[in-house]
Amino acid sequence: MKILVTGGLGFIGSHTVVELQNEGFEVVVIDNLSNSSIDVLDGIQKITGKKPFFENLDLKNKVSVQDFFDKHTDVTHVIHFAASKAVGESVGNPLLYYENNINTLVYLLQELEKKTEANFIFSSSCTVYGQADDMPITEKASVKPAFSPYGNTKQIGEEIVWDVSAVSGINAVLLRYFNPIGAHPSAEIGELPLGVPQNLVPFITQTAIGLRQELSVFGDDYPTPDGTAVRDYIHVVDLAKAHVLALKRLIEKKNKDKVEVFNIGTGKGSSVLEVIKAFEKVSEQKLAYKIVGRRDGDVTEVYANTDKANQVLGWKAQLTLEDALGSAWKWEKKIRNNI
Ligand code: WQD
């Protein structure tokens, strides 16, 4: 069974390709290499022994998308990762985000709605909740006005999937990721942030390896136990496995609705200082950091209620924060040839 993974050479995409291949699926990857490297294909092959079929294709090019589906008429299962995802960048360049995250989704769905039946897994985000009123957050929590164009593209994307699935043979699962971190335990694939990392964990590992002088902790005056903001950090391998279960659910027609939504997190919140402490423990070295002012757009606290994913999807995070930080550190040392 052929599965199309868009953005399949990216951070979460590549880890999902590995888990799909482990489950015996044939994988076709589309990626425009704007935020990934062709070398990731070798990394995947080193882990699974199988190199996925790859097309360097930009989903912003409607004709290319049509040509792809004309060539691969048997593609009816799609996991869609390809998108821009830097919150800060989206504020300064909203049209880049609306074009890259919305147009591409429309062109993909225009091809899938031609099929009698198609299964679609959409990469969404806890960002759609904004600063939710109650913790932990359930899927029933209201979607709040987005804090950024990035978050808005995820909200709009979800609505597009709902509207199209209502009038087509498309069945969909929306996976709302919390904070993906870590790397495959083999250290053959991992996160490859281009330039200065926006996210906490790659900045930590780059500081620890000596690429960055010190980590700036954005604010310690939040209403949390230690004053730093709280997030739900999910190991990317656990997150990847959730996609395989979601796809199987649709293939086996176990879905109860045309569109189903699941929070994919650990259900546990960790503060920035707790992450630093956990990293120092797994790396056995002190991390250089300083407390600075809050970052615009950050929320105080976000962590998932994962009951629905546990009970309905049959998925539960198995790996811990320390597992994730240890794998991120092993990956950092590998790509800097320190191991
Ligand atoms: C985590 C915490 C920062 C960097 C975003 C998107 C989300 C997903 C993950 C795409 C916050 C603090 C960070 C630093 C710091 N992206 N921090 N110093 O903002 O929770 O989520 O990325 O899917 O959709 O919204 O992740 O890793 O940037 O920040 O103190 O140098 O670490 O303030 O509290 P975030 P993050």
CB of 12 within 6 A of ligand 1: the answer is no
Nearest CA to ligand 1 atom 19: 298
The one-letter amino acid at 314: G
CB of 218 within 6 A of ligand 1: the answer is yes
Of ligand 1's atoms, which has the minimum distance to the CA of residue 295? 33
Of ligand 1's atoms, which has the minimum distance to the CA of residue 203? 31
- List C-alpha distances in Å: 119 to 112, 268, 314, 318, 328: 8, 30, 18, 26, 32
pLDDT, one tens digit for every residue, the chain (339 residues) = 899 999 999 999 999 999 999 999 999 999 999 999 999 999 999 999 999 999 999 999 999 999 999 999 999 999 999 999 988 889 999 999 999 999 999 999 999 999 999 999 999 999 999 889 999 999 999 999 988 899 999 999 999 999 999 999 999 999 999 999 999 999 999 998 788 999 999 999 999 999 999 999 999 999 999 999 999 999 999 999 999 999 999 999 999 999 999 999 999 999 999 999 999 999 999 999 999 999 988 899 999 999 999 999 999 999 999 999 999 999 999 999 865
Nearest CA to ligand 1 atom 2: 200
Going from N- to C-terminal start, the domains of the chain cover: 2-181+234-265+306-317
**Topology classification of domain 2-181+234-265+306-317:** Rossmann fold (3.40.50)
Note if 150 is an active site residue.
Answer: yes
